[in-house]
Amino acid sequence: MTFDELDIHDELKEAISYMNFERVSPIQEAAIPVALSGKDILACAQTGTGKTASFVIPILDDLIRNGNQGTTSLIIVPTRELALQIDQEVQGFSYFTMTSSKAIFGGDKGKDWNAQKQAITEGTNVIIATPGRLMQHLALGYVDFSCLRHLVLDEADRMLDMGFYDDIKQIVTYIKNPVQTLLFSATMAPNIRTLAHKILHNPETITIAIAKPAAGVTQSAYMAYPNQKIKIIHHIITINPTYDSILIFTATKRNVNNIVTHLQKTLPMESIAGISSDLEQKEREDVLVGFKSKQIKILVATDVLSRGIDIKGINLIINFDVPADPADYVHRVGRTARADSKGEAITLISDVDIHKFKRIETLIGAAVEKREAPKKLGNTPLWNKAASHTQGANRKKTGHTRKTKNKSKFVRKPSSNNNNTKQ
């Protein structure tokens, strides 16, 4: 199906054509007609499937046809990066309309707060907000939702993972008039269904491509002890000199700093940066702009970037550690091979994380190729689930290294370099 076949206003079709969009994605084909009908939606679709347009286009179509006085639409998202991205998409799709929008998020300076307050009090049509910052504005009593017609919860599972469940329930209490509610989530865990039951009214349930990496992603993995991982990253980057956009994910802020420091020393000719919640908002925006424009070749990030950031042309994703949630693996990998392009994703698996990666392979329905690490690194963990569990138990009991049946290999106690600082 093409966008021209959708029953949307000509001004929207003109903007879509201007943005060089032609064919709708599966989630757009399923969700847009339902949203245009005014029904609530409970949708499950992975990152990178085009779900933002699935709610932005119907919202803008309603504003064009039925008026855009006051704040008509509220989109709640987990992170400031996603808020900014959606705001950019709203501006793109509404290019030929009179629609106004504003991203509302924390971590900014006083003048940014004032700009947000002004946008809210002046009735900006589309507000895209993180829960915490929106709650701060609501508490001061000047937020007016009397004209609200649409409520969207995007990346709902991520918001609940981040502890925003109570905030979302509180925000909903400020909405007095009936609204169309659209809930989008990458997973459909029980807590999502509980939230949906509380805030949705007879929703249409849509499920698209749950937890499957894009076909264009070449997936592989290296077995590595924690103190070998940065050396393997150096190896991966040096054997792939043609890659001009590399994104490295790690679960901890400390590892971001360690990886960046090491790579800057060993790859002095490359442009390398790190991004985590330690940075100020302006610093994070500057790093993202540099990475998007390819002025920064290698970006090391915590999971703050694994969902909701649309950066085109990423050649290579490296998972420094195995995500605890298999769905998060899909979101990390989903940063490459977007829009039917090609990309590569490599994961570094320590002995204690073998069981996690087994769960990922079960979820994606495929075994991921295990590459041989450089011989100069010495012994690496064995890809053997039984040995992993047995040897892990023995380490807890004895506190020392034990040999496996394969006498040429050892399962060694993880290095103390495996930091566990939370994001």
β-pair type (410-411, 402-403): antiparallel
DSSP 313: T
Which residue ranges make up each domain of the chain? 3-208, 217-388+399-411
Mean pLDDT for 98-112 is 85
Fold classification of 3-208 is Rossmann fold (3.40.50)
Q: Which residue has the higher pLDDT, 305 or 34?
A: 34
Average pLDDT over residues 387-407: 40
Tokens 């007016």, located at residue: 144
Angle 267-272-276 (CA atoms, 0-180°, nearest 5)? Answer: 135
Tell me which of 44-53, 244-253, 297-306, 401-410 is least confident. Answer: 401-410
The pLDDT score that the predictor gives to residue 397 is 38
CATH code that applies to domain 217-388+399-411: 3.40.50.300
What mean pLDDT is predicted for residues 96-105? 94
Check if 3-208 and 217-388+399-411 are the same fold: yes
CB 44 within 8 A of CB 206: yes
Q: Is the pTM of this model over 0.75?
A: no
Tell me, what's the pLDDT at 212? 65
Q: Nearest CA to 133 among 146, 120, 150?
A: 120
Place of tokens 């041989």: 372
Q: Above 60 in pLDDT, residue 106?
A: yes
Is residue 264 predicted with pLDDT exceeding 90? Answer: yes
Structure tokens at 411: 């399962």
* Minimum mean pLDDT range among 36-45, 293-302, 380-389: 380-389
**pLDDT reading at 409 higher than 60:** no
State percent of the chain over pLDDT 70: 85
How many other CB atoms are found less than 10 A from the CB of residue 174?
Answer: 14
Question: Would you tell me the crossing angle of helices 80-93 and 10-18 to the nearest 10 degrees?
Answer: 110
Q: Would you say 344 and 317 are in contact if contact means Cβ atoms under 8 Å apart? A: yes
Q: Which residues pair with 298 in a beta bridge?
A: 246, 272
Angle at 315 (CA atoms; ends 311, 316), nearest 5 degrees: 105
Residues 6 or more apart in contact with residue 23 via CB below 8 angstroms: 1, 2, 3
Give the pLDDT band of residue 110 (cuts 50, 70, 90).
low
* Cα first-last separation, the chain: 41
At 24, give phi and psi (nearest 5°).
Answer: -80, 150
How far, in Å, CA of 383 to CA of 41, rounded? 42
Residue scoring higher pLDDT (142 or 420): 142
How large is the average pLDDT for residues 139-167?
93
For residue 271, the model assigns a pLDDT of 94
- Predicted local confidence at residue 337, as pLDDT: 59
Tell me 352's DSSP state. Answer: G
Q: Which of 278, 48, 282, 305 is nearest to 158 (CA)?
A: 305
- The lowest-confidence range among 96-100, 172-176, 416-420 is 416-420
- Measured CA to CA, the distance from residue 386 to residue 219 in angstroms comes to 24
Q: Taking each helix axis from N to C terminus, what angle separates 110-121 and 131-139, rounded to the nearest 10 degrees?
A: 70
Sequence-distant (≥ 6) Cβ neighbours of residue 372 within 8 angstroms = none
